[in-house]
Chain A
C-alpha cells in the first residue's frame, strides 16, 4: 500500500513537471504586420444587386441577398451596408453590414409583427446595398427586388431522418409483436449484468450497504432512464435480502423518480415497511459538491458494492477510485464515451454505451424490452450494410449514395 502511494505521488510529480515544462515552453504568437494598400482616386462604383434567394426548408423570414462588385475595389471598400423596405420608395431600414470583399448577406428577419425587424412571408421586399470606401465615400446601389420569402410545410433536407424513424418504428413494432407471441429471443450474456446478483449477495454476506449512484443526468436522459430500470431490480433484490441501500441523487426530479422506483421495488418484494424516503435522497446539484458528498458516504459507510449507472462526466474517476480504495465491488455503466475508459480501468465491470441501455431488457426479460433490443440489432445490421454498400458505391465512383445519407439542416 505504501509503495503504491509512493508510486502514485511519484507519477503525479513527473506528470506535473512535464505539464509545467510544456506550459513554460509555449512561445508567444507572432503578430502579423498589416498591409496598407493604396487607394484609387476615382469614386467607387455602385454595387449591383443580383439576387435575393429565399432560404429553403424553413419557416420563411430569411433571405440571402447577393450582389456584385468589381474585384479591383476590394481593398478600398471598408464595408457594405444592407437596407430593406417593403416598397421601392418606402422607408429603407438598415439591417447590418458585410465586410469589404464579401458579396452576400443573410437577412434573418423577425416573425413578430410588432418587431421593427419584422419580415413578412410571401410579400414583396426591396433591398439596397451601400458601399462605404476607406475615404468615407458612400455609394448607393440601385434598389433590388422585389424578392419574397416563404415558409415550407416539410423540411426536405430531413428526408433520411423521416425514413429512419419510419423504418425503426416498423422494426420495433414487428419484434415486439413477435416477442409477445412467445418467440424465444436469444441474448448473449453480459458480464456486468450477471455480476449484479453476486454483488448484492456479497454485500448481504458482509452486512454492508450498497451504494447506487445515478449520475448527474436529468430524469429524461436516456442513460438515467436505463438506470431507473436497473435500480428497480437491484432494489427488489436488496429488499429481499434485507441489505441496506443508499441512493444519493444529483437531480431533484431524478430523486423523486428514484424514490418511486425503490418504493415500488420494496413493495413488490413484500417489504414496504423497510422503505423510507431517506434511502433515496438529494445531495446537491453542483457536480463536484455531489462527488464530495458521495466520497464522504463511501469512506464513512464503507459500502460493499457500488453501482455507477447513468450519465457521468469528469467525476466518474473520483468516484471509481475512491470506491476502489475502500475495496468495494464496482459495477459501472455510462453512455459518455469520454468517461468509459476511467470506469474500465477502475471498476470491476463496465457496461459500455449501448450495453447500459440493454441492461434493463436483460434484467427484466420482459418480451417488450427484448423485442426492442432485437430491433436495435437490426438497426446495427442496417448500419453495417449501409456502410459496406456505401464504401463499394464510392469505390465505383457513385457518390449519389453518400449524398442520400446526408441530412441537410
Chain B
C-alpha cells in the first residue's frame, strides 16, 4: 500500500469517527448539514472524494426536488386541477368545485409534444412546443425592453445640465450631470458596431470604455462585502448551530 492511499484511508477513518461522535453529541441532522458544508469547502484545497460525493448528491437531489416542486405546485393545481378538478380534489380540496377548463388541454398536448423529442422519428414535433414558448417571450420582450431599457433610460437622461440650489449655482451637481450626460453618450458610442472607432468617434469610444471600467470596478467592490457576509453565515452555522461555540 502506498503512502497516498494510506493517508486517504486515515482521513476517511477520521471523518467517519468525527461523524459518529458528532451524531452522538449533536444529533443526526445538524451533523449531516455540517459535514456536507465541510465537504464543499474542501474543494478550495483541491478536488477530492468528499467534494465529489457532496456534488453528485446535490445534483441528483436538487434535480428531483425541482421536479416534484413543479409537479405539486404547477401541474396539480394549474393543469390537472383546471382540466378536471375532481381528479386532484384529494390533494387540493379548495379546487373541488371549480369549473373544468378544456383550454388547458392545449398545454397538456404541447407538453406531450415536447416529450416527443425522446423519440428519434417524431422528435421534430417537439419544436411546436418550443415555438410556442419562444414566440410568447419574443412578443413580450419586444415591448418590454423598448419601454424599460430604451425609452425609460433616455427619459432618465434628459435633465438640466445647469443645476442650481438654494444658494445659487451648484458647481458640483452641474459637473456630475455633465459627466452622466457625456458618459451615456460615450458609452453608446462604444457600442457602435458598424462604424470604425477612429478620430473623434474613436475618442468617444475610448472615453466610453473608461466609464465602463470604472463602473465594473464599482460593481465589483459593491459585491465584495455581500459575498463575505455569506461566508460569515456559514461560519455561524458551523461554529454556532453545530459546534455551539458561538451563540
Q: Which residues of A contact B (CB under 8 A)?
A: 12, 15-16, 18-20, 22-23, 158, 160-161, 164-165, 168, 185-188, 190, 218-222, 225, 253, 256-257, 282-286, 288-290, 292-293, 295-296, 299-300, 337-338, 340-342, 344-345, 352-355, 358, 373-374, 376-377, 379-380, 383-384, 386-388, 390-391, 393-395, 401-402, 405-407
Contacts and interface: CB of A to CB of B under 8 A. Distances in A.
21 contacts: A15-B225, A15-B228, A188-B194, A219-B130, A221-B137, A253-B133, A256-B130, A284-B58, A284-B60, A284-B63, A285-B66, A288-B58, A293-B59, A376-B193, A377-B194, A377-B195, A380-B192, A384-B185, A384-B189, A387-B181, A395-B162
Interface stretch (B72-80, B101-109, B151-159): B151-159
Contact of A188 (B117, B192, B215, B228): B192
Contacts, number: 184
A286 B66 contact: yes
Contacts of B219: 337-338, 340-341
B158 to A, nearest CB: 3
B11 interface: no
A299 to B, nearest CB: 4
Contacts of A219: 130, 133-134
Task: Please name the 7 residue pairs, one residue from A and one from B, whose CB atoms are nearest each other, closest first.
Answer: A390-B158, A220-B137, A286-B62, A341-B216, A289-B62, A284-B63, A299-B47
B100 interface: no
B199 interface: no
B161 interface: yes
B151 A358 contact: no
Given A220-B134, A292-B59, A16 B231 contact: yes
Contacts of B147: 158, 161, 407
Contacts of A379: 150
B223 interface: yes
A220 B133 contact: yes
Most buried by A among B46, B56, B138, B158: B158
Query: Interface residues of B toward A: which range?
Result: 35 or more
B55 A296 contact: yes
Given A342-B220, A353-B191, A19 B184 contact: no
B119 interface: no
Given A387-B181, A402-B155, A220 B136 contact: yes
A253 B130 contact: yes
Given A289-B59, A341-B220, A358-B193, A164 B188 contact: no
B172 interface: no
